[in-house]
Amino acid sequence: MREASEGRETALLALEARFGTQFSRGAALREQHGHGEGYHLSHEPDAVLFAESTEDVSAALALCHEHSLPVVAFGGGTSLEGQVNALEGGISLDLSRMTSIIEVNAADLDCRVQAGVTRQALNLHLRDEGLFFPVDPGGEATIGGMCATRASGTAAVRYGTIRENVLGMTVVLADGRVTQLGGRTRKSATGYDLAHLMIGSEGTLGIVTEIQLRLQGIPEVTAAAICQFETLGGCVEAAIQIMQMGIPIARMELLDEVQMEACILYSRLEGYRALPTMFFEVSGGPDSVNEQISAIEGLCQDNGGADFLWSTRDDERAALWKARHAVYWACLAYRQGHIGISTDAIVPISALTAMILGAKQDIDASGLVAPIVGHIGDGNFHTVMLVPPGEAGLERARALDHKLVARALSLGGSASGEHGIGLAKKAFMGAEHDPVALDIMRAIKATLDPRNILNPGKLLPEP
C-alpha cells in the first residue's frame, strides 16, 4: 500500500511539473469534478488537470499509464449515471477548455471540433452557414461527452443519435498513443469500425479529443405544436401510428399528466391542462410541412387528441422546447426537497403502449411521484422518480427502477436508450448481454487499457 501511495504521489508531482497552472489539487475543483448531475454520492479525484490540446491529453495519459494512475475524462459534468465519479481517485482530465471549431466544410456538410465544444456553441457558429448539428441531449453537454455516453435527444427520431452523426475522431489511448479513427467519407468498408467502438465506451477505452461530425441544412420551414389527449394510452397509440405511417417528423415528445402539470407550473405554459400531452415539430418545404401537419392532426384526433396549436415563429418554438428541456428542473420544483432520479428505458415502438401503461402501474404501486417524459418516436422514455429524503425512499426508487428495466427487457428493449451505464446500470448488463458478449467487452477493455487506468469501475460488471 505504501509503495502504491508513493507511486501515485510521484505521478501527481510529475503532472504538476509538466502542466503547471493547468493542474490543481484545490478542494473546490476536486469536489466539482467528483460527480455529474445524477444522484450518486460524490467520489473526488486527487487532482484536476485541464487539457487544452490532444498533445496535453497524450502527455498526461503517458505519465498516468507509467504510474498506473486512474484517469476520468470530464466534459460538461452533465452525465446522469455516475460516469464522471472518480471511484479510485486519480485525476479528473477536464476537456472543457478544448473549444476550437477546427474546420467547417459546408459543401460536404461536415465539420471538425475539439471535444469540449458544446452543441449550443457549434450551432451558433454554424448559423450563418445555413447549417446545424441536430443532436440535442439537453443541458450544456460537450460533443466529447456526448460521444462517450452515446447521447441522443429530442431530434433523434429524424436525425439519429450521436452515433449516426459521427464520421471520425481523434482518440488518445491509455498509454498516450494518438490514433485517427474513421474519416470524412459517409461510408467505408476498410477494417473494423473502431470509431464507433469508442462511442458509448464512457472513457473506458480511450479519450476522444477531436470529432468529425455530420451536419444538416436548416430546413426552409419548421413548425411546432402541442396536442393534449384524453388518455395516456391514446397519446402513445397516436405516436406509434405516426411512426408506422412513415411521417418524417422532426421531434415528438410525450409528457404524461403529472409531467405536464409540473411543466405548466414551472415554465408557465398558460392555456394548457394537466393532461397527457405531445410536443411535435415538423420541418421541410412549405407543402411538405402542411402535409405532415394534416396527417398528424388526423391520427391524433382518431386517438382522442385535440386543441392543436401550430406555430412557425422562432420565439414560440424556442419557448416550447425550452419547457421540454427544463422538465428535470420542473420535476424538482414540483416536489421541493426531493431527489430526482431519472430512468432511461427503451423498447421497440410496437411495445410502447404495454411499456408505458405498465410503467404507470409500477409507479402507482411504488407510492412515489414519478412523472413520465419520452422521446416517444424512437421508443425511449424517462421517469423522473421524485424521492423523499432518507434511505427508505431510495430503496423504493431502486425497486421501481429495477421493475421498469425488467419490464423493458421482457418487451425486447434495453436498460438505457441514451444515458449510458456508468455506475447505476452496471447491475443490468448481465441481464441484457449474454456472457460471451460481456467476455468480448472485457477482452477489448484489457487490450486497450491493460492497466485499467481509464475510468475504472464503470460500465462493465465484475466477471
* Cell numbers given for 406: 425488467
pLDDT confidence of residue 4 = 61
Strands 166-172 and 178-182, sheet pairing? antiparallel
* Cell numbers given for 457: 469501475
pLDDT confidence of residue 1 = 47
Burial status of residue 345 (CB atoms within 10 A of its CB: 0-12, 13-18, 19 or more)? buried
Question: What DSSP character marks residue 324?
Answer: H
Distance CA 207, CA 114 (A): 12
* Cell numbers given for 101: 471549431
Question: Taking Cα atoms as reference points, which of 36, 65, 31 lies closest to residue 48?
Answer: 31
Biggest CA–CA distance in the chain, Å, is 72
Distance CA 334, CA 225 (A): 24
Strands 47-50 and 91-94, sheet pairing? parallel
pLDDT confidence of residue 194 = 97
pLDDT confidence of residue 308 = 83
Element (H, E) at 253: strand 251-255
pLDDT confidence of residue 315 = 85
Question: Taking Cα atoms as reference points, which of 58, 86, 64, 80 lies closest to residue 7?
Answer: 64
> Which residues in the chain land under pLDDT 70?
1-4
Question: Domains plus CATH for the chain?
Answer: 2-96 (3.30.43.10), 101-217 (3.30.465.10), 221-410 (3.40.462.10)
pLDDT confidence of residue 312 = 84
Does residue 333 sit in helix, strand or coil? Answer: helix
Please give the radius of gyration of the chain, using alpha carbons only, rounded to the nearest integer: 22
